[in-house]
Structure 1
Amino acid sequence: MTGPTELAERFGTPSYVYDLDRVAAARDDLFAALPDEVELFYAAKANPHPDLLRELRSGGARGCRAEISSVGELDAVLEAGFAGERILYTGPGKTGAELTEALTRGVRLFSTESPGDLRRVGETALRLGLTADCLIRVNNADGAAATSIRMTGVPSQFGFDSETLPGLAAELRDVPGTSIAGLHFFPLSNAKDEASLIAEFRHTIAAAADLQHTLGVPFRFLDIGGGFAAPYAVRGERPVFGELRAALADALDEHFPGWREGAPRVACESGRYLVADSGTLLTTVVNVKDSRDHRYVVLDAGINTFGGMSGLGRIMPVSVEPHQSAGAVGTPASLAGPLCTPGDLLGRNVVLPDVAPGELLTVPNAGAYGPTASLLMFLGRPAPAEIVVRGDELVSVSRIEHTRTYEHGQAL
């Protein structure tokens, strides 16, 4: 059996359960929402678990490529079977050492964030006798979807400010060791609705066409970003986009008439949408405490287990449900973790039935930004178990282990 109670009893809590059938469904739904010619990158930062990576890579011609931003993610995606030519390396702080590692292991496509970043890629490629295909990441001055989480239009370490590109065109075309392959956009995250998503893609495609003329380089590759929404740690169903496919095709036909023949190849990217609804966090109530008219439900899972990138200083909305029947609806409570810090909170004023120590709770839609986006090593508590299932079949159980290695004559 692979139900929450059986898995919690067998492997303990806190633990994550990922269902590969849900991963495959999300991958297939998103590919179905895109024109057949559009490729799809999976942002490994959302969840780099090897079983999930392998599932997203599978699917033949409609399998995902990998988008990474570290050597650790490079290790993960290569181990999961992604070939170097199927990887896009991104990030604002790519060092010479990691660029050397990536190029040596077959990566040839890089998103670059600034003239200095582009030059660093080129210098590293030249030392290795290679040429790196580079995308110019664009920080657009404006956008179309005013109701979503904007990722551009403000000062940022990400991307070339779009208004500076005309003056940089000649310089960018002539960086030794590089070949400008095209552009990379990521203008918004978690679009409010499909209309917002479509509007942003249309704006991005039009901006890309203008920049192709400005840069004087025929693009071979165009990454138009993502923004595909999905519920995260709250109740809800992952949306299916019914209008996107035709809208994207129309916009690309207008601005890049050769795209269906690969001039340029076009890609989108996604993280949360592809894995969020595959995961459930299992956690046990350790204690229930009332303090000055405020209730705290203390769990064995905290920001070290489900931080939601807790270093950003924000508390994500979280839905918690008792797995078994519980008493009547009780007092709104703060969900506290086990860590010795007042910052260890998963939610405030969360309404749930009255619970008691020892009761198993579940957090839905928790397949993205779990252990590796948490304060995993803080206070030295063990990492949660990660349990992978496919329907009723148990696929694997693993746990991230923390180890320290020594140099200068000490054993490694």
Structure 2
Amino acid sequence: MTVEFQVQGVPVSELARRYGTPLFVYDGTALRDRFHGLRDRLHPAMEIFYSLKANPNISICALLHSFGARAEVSSLVELATALRAGVPPQQVIFLGPGKSRQELAACLDSGIHAVVCESIPEVALVDELARERGVKAPVALRVNPRFAVKRSGLAMGGKPRQFGIDEEELFATTDLVKRFPDVDLMGVHVYMGTRILHEAVIVENTTRILDLAERLSAALNLELRMVDVGGGLGVSYFDGESDLDAQVLTDGLNPVIEDFTARHPGTRLIMELGRYLTAEAGTYVMGVRYTKTSMGERFAVADGGTHHHMAAVGIGSFVKRNFPMAVLNRLDEPATEEWNVTGPLCTPGDTIGKKVPLPPVRPGDLIGVHRSGAYGPTASPGLFLSHGYPAEVLVHEGRCHLVRERDSPEDLLQRQRLYDPTAHDAADVPH
């Protein structure tokens, strides 16, 4: 009997039949277990904020919020998504290096907990917007520290970066509170890096960030009501990597948090998690259209590819390594061959897996890319060849929910306008 991949008892072939391929499938139980696996061990003073950039689907956000997650957003649409998903404004923070005036105004108008400012000019703009509204704007300062992260997949601080204000600049600018009277400087944010798979590194980073926050608070006369320690908790994708042990991690973190809260009982502590919460719960499912051999190598040409899952081709990595992949409709068959798994795009770069060990692949098979719940459609060129974005399905408590419809040709064309050389619409003429 053939063994088939299932999500909460629903066979993948049934999901493909009902919703088509390619599609992303999310397991609600895996999301819950991942969240509570950390939340139940982590010091209660440390709040978990879900980073929507990892997977901005509104249902994913709503489900994680139902488990207890707050929201960290970085765009106007992510802010709207979090609020529509039911996250209260006081459980939302907004960060990012290039916020628009419209985004900052929306933050103040919606009453979120904090705007994380990444430059002094941004603080000045928030001060101006707050004065126009007659409010005090809650602002946390993102700091680019002197120290650098170790063993990170992608460093976000400790080097010349567009992110944050250099530590030296902040310590030299001690009049910030007086200079911006309509800004409530209430916190510090530091995000060192991402994809960290070593518990001791996360503990060390957190310790140093909390120390930096205390020193900045004293130097700037800043009331420390919030410290965001970033996160960067990694997920293993490749051979030789291991997932973080939540118990080992929290055994190291909790004493550090306890020591800090004893000195600052009124300070809200925040950890941002995106990939860590969602990656494991997602599978990208592709249907094989054709198989062929070219110059001695096998190719499985699928209906999905890098236009939906650019992360799987190693963007941000110096070495191309394959995400975990399988023939989902024949899990019990041994991987006896090597296959290049490619998509429908007109570029040799549309290779989502190179020399992947798989059983003999046939047209009609379903190939899955596991650990695909983060940085799928949100980090991919979905409009390449005008394919659009795939369907997204959440399976929760044994029931399937279509949480994003597949783009149709009409969806992709409706916002375009056909040029008419006979038309003379003055409203279309730029001034």
Q: Do these two structures clear the TM 0.5 threshold for a shared fold by scoring above it?
A: yes
User: What code does the residue aligned with 1:267 have?
Assistant: I
CA shift, 1:146, in A, is 4.2
Aligned match for 1:11, one of 19, 38, 63 = 19
TM superposition outliers: structure 1 runs of 4+ over 6 Å? 233-237, 406-410
Matched, 1:54 2:58: no
Aligned match for 2:345, one of 324, 339, 343 = 339
CA shift, 1:392, in A, is 2.2
Identity of aligned residues (%): 31
Q: Which moved more, 1:119-128 or 1:398-407?
A: 398-407
Matched, 1:142 2:147: yes
CA shift, 1:54, in A, is 1.0
CA shift, 1:239, in A, is 3.8
Q: Secondary structure at the match of 1:351?
A: strand
The equivalent residue for 2:399 is 393
- May I ask how many residue pairs the two structures share in their alignment? 405
User: What code does the residue aligned with 1:301 have?
Assistant: G
The equivalent residue for 1:175 is 180
Q: Could you report, residue by residue, the CA deviation over 1:259-318 in whole angstroms, capped at 9, with x for unpaired residues?
A: 3x32x1111110011111111111111222322333332221111111229795755632
Q: Which moved more, 1:24-33 or 1:150-159?
A: 24-33
Aligned match for 2:47, one of 35, 39, 42 = 39
CA shift, 1:174, in A, is 2.3
The equivalent residue for 2:160 is 155
In the alignment, the residues of structure 2 paired with residue 348 and residue 398 of structure 1 have an alpha-carbon distance, to the nearest angstrom, of 29
Aligned match for 1:291, one of 269, 277, 294 = 294
Q: Structure 1's 309 and 248: CA in aligned 2 closer, same or farther, altered over 3 A?
A: same
CA shift, 1:244, in A, is 3.3
The equivalent residue for 1:375 is 381
Matched, 1:122 2:127: yes
Q: Which moved more, 1:160-169 or 1:284-293?
A: 284-293
Q: Structure 1's 25 and 253: CA in aligned 2 closer, same or farther, altered over 3 A?
A: closer
For the Cα contact (< 8 Å) 1:16–1:281, is it kept in 2? yes
Mark the runs of 5 or more structure 2 residues left unpaired by the alignment.
Answer: 1-8, 418-424
In the alignment, the residues of structure 2 paired with residue 48 and residue 235 of structure 1 have an alpha-carbon distance, to the nearest angstrom, of 30
For the Cα contact (< 8 Å) 1:16–1:387, is it kept in 2? yes
Q: How does 1:217-256 map to 2 (within 5 A)?
A: 217-232=222-237, 239-255=244-260
The equivalent residue for 2:421 is none
Q: How does 1:186-225 map to 2 (within 5 A)?
A: 186-225=191-230
For the Cα contact (< 8 Å) 1:309–1:373, is it kept in 2? no
CA shift, 1:397, in A, is 4.5
In the alignment, the residues of structure 1 paired with residue 347 and residue 181 of structure 2 have an alpha-carbon distance, to the nearest angstrom, of 50
Matched, 1:349 2:355: yes
Matched, 1:280 2:286: no
For the Cα contact (< 8 Å) 1:387–1:398, is it kept in 2? yes
* TM-score, normalised via structure 2 length: 0.86
Q: Which moved more, 1:288-297 or 1:177-186?
A: 288-297
Q: Which moved more, 1:266-275 or 1:280-289?
A: 280-289
Q: Which moved more, 1:326-335 or 1:182-191?
A: 326-335
CA shift, 1:155, in A, is 0.8
CA shift, 1:218, in A, is 2.6
Matched, 1:166 2:171: yes
In the alignment, the residues of structure 2 paired with residue 176 and residue 49 of structure 1 have an alpha-carbon distance, to the nearest angstrom, of 37
Q: CA RMSD in A?
A: 2.6
The equivalent residue for 2:271 is 268
Q: Could you report, residue by residue, the CA deviation over 1:182-224 in whole angstroms, capped at 9, with x for unpaired residues?
A: 1001112121221222122122222222222222223011001
The equivalent residue for 1:30 is 38
Q: Secondary structure at the match of 2:394?
A: strand
In the alignment, the residues of structure 2 paired with residue 16 and residue 136 of structure 1 have an alpha-carbon distance, to the nearest angstrom, of 36
Q: Could you report, residue by residue, the CA deviation over 1:353-402 in whole angstroms, capped at 9, with x for unpaired residues?
A: 22122111111111111112211112111421111111422233532544
For the Cα contact (< 8 Å) 1:283–1:300, is it kept in 2? yes
Q: Which moved more, 1:232-241 or 1:139-148?
A: 232-241
Q: Secondary structure at the match of 1:283?
A: strand
CA shift, 1:84, in A, is 1.7
In the alignment, the residues of structure 1 paired with residue 114 and residue 321 of structure 2 have an alpha-carbon distance, to the nearest angstrom, of 34
Q: Secondary structure at the match of 2:71?
A: strand
The equivalent residue for 1:64 is 69
Q: Structure 1's 177 and 183: CA in aligned 2 closer, same or farther, altered over 3 A?
A: same
Q: Secondary structure at the match of 2:13?
A: helix
In the alignment, the residues of structure 1 paired with residue 238 and residue 79 of structure 2 have an alpha-carbon distance, to the nearest angstrom, of 27
The equivalent residue for 1:306 is 309
Q: Structure 1's 164 and 251: CA in aligned 2 closer, same or farther, altered over 3 A?
A: same
